[in-house]
Amino acid sequence: MTKEAIKLFSQAHAEPAWLRNLRQAAFEKIDTLDLPKIERVKFHRWNLGDGRITESEATSNVPDFTALGDNPKLVQVGTQTVFEQLSPELAEAGVIFTDFYTALEEIPEILEQYFNKTVAYDEDKLAAYHSAYFNSGAVLYVPDNVEIKVPVEGIFYQDSTSDVPFNKHILVITGKHTKLNYLERFESIGDGGEKATANITVEVIAGAGSQIKFAAIDRLGQGVTTYLRRRASLGNQASIDWAIGVMNEGNVVADFDSNLFGDGSHADMKVVALSSGKQVQGIDTRVTNYGRHSIGNILQHGVILEKGTLTFNGIGHIIKGAKGADAQQESRVLMLSDKARSDANPILLIDENDVTAGHAASIGQVDPEDMYYLMSRGLDKATAERLVVRGFLGAVITEIPVKEVRNEMIDGIEEKLSKR
């Protein structure tokens, strides 16, 4: 019946043959594939999908849009698009920013060419599940030589009063020599306590010479169990600057990957994460250098409260032939409880000579001398700890290029700390 449900969903959305066939092929593979491997994270018993492909109904949990600016914007609640905004000038330049099914009508050949280009449907069990069961998404397409001078925002709300699976596919495609600043949010809204699953894939395809700044804040609720995969593929001299705040309340496993296929390509990955309560978060951050003189940097800072668990796996892989490549990584975790658990695992895989690589990792608690100094100046313990955390995460937050995103990330940190 599940296979038939997928077929009916495809028919209802008038999906082209290539997408219908992809869904069916992915469905056939699900039971034959293993889960993705996230080192030192046990998630094989998590509910990451119940075999439903459904859509959201109309909801009253629609945010207030009166304060939104006039920059390009797409807002979805569940599977429904509730707001779109794109200037006539960008539309005339060929920019597309819309929901997945509208993009299928407007640029069908481009979607057929790039959909699942960075993540093969048979890569692992959750990739196959996503390809078969994704129920909504968005597409941002920027043609060659177009510079978007204002931030482009994709805001994707999960309705906490609904148990509809939050299976999103976001596709960002930039042509040659483009410039883009993209902001992305995944967030739960409403006061419901429904249990839900999320299987999210974000693909970024960066053409030669393109420059992408990609900032994201993930704030899915406690009732949402999430697998989140963000992956970029970079052409010659292309660059991507990631800044990601992992501020979810529920259990999460995440893959953040950059494939540096192009010569001289460059990826900077900056990740901030907080775990609290009994929450488990496992984050794989990987940069793979294929191109000559490609550069990959990973910077991860995390904080754990109460009985939370946080695992950072930083993986730098230099492929044979990537002469002159550089792979650097740093992972650091601050524990604010003796009941917290953490791992910071640096992994370097070097298959080529004439390269540069390095790593650093640490796990520790708040320095008692720092706390003593702050409290001796009249601060209570909770306020002192918040200042220490802000300082610890500041090394990453200050690298975020957009002030509004920095402030929103700081607010998310303060909100988590205030719940202690």
How many CA atoms, within 13 angstroms, populate the side-chain half-sphere of residue 231? 20
Listing DSSP states for 13-57 in one string gives TT--HHHHHHHHHHHHHGGGSPPP--TT---TTS----S----PP
Indicate whether 61 pLDDT > 80: no
User: pTM, whole model, 2 decimals?
Assistant: 0.96
Alpha helix (H) ranges present in 326-380?
368-376
111-129, pLDDT tens digit by residue?
999 999 999 999 999 999 9
19-55, pLDDT tens digit by residue?
999 999 999 999 999 999 999 999 999 999 989 999 9
Indicate whether 191 pLDDT > 90: no
Average pLDDT (299-314) is 95
pLDDT of residue 372: 87
pLDDT of residue 390: 85
Cα torsion 154, 240, 140, 399 to 10°: value is: 20
Which pLDDT band, with edges at 50, 70 and 90, does 420 fall under? low
Direct distance between the N- and C-terminal alpha carbons of the chain, in angstroms, rounded to an integer = 45
Query: Tokens standing for 214?
Result: 């990609």
Q: What does the alpha-carbon distance between residue 413 and residue 379 come to, in Å, rounded to a whole number? A: 19
Q: Where are the domains of the chain?
A: 2-366
- pLDDT, averaged across the chain: 93
241-298, pLDDT tens digit by residue?
999 999 999 999 999 999 999 999 999 999 999 999 999 999 999 999 999 999 999 9
For residue 53, with 0-12 CB atoms within 10 Å meaning exposed, 13-18 middle and 19 or more buried, which class applies? buried
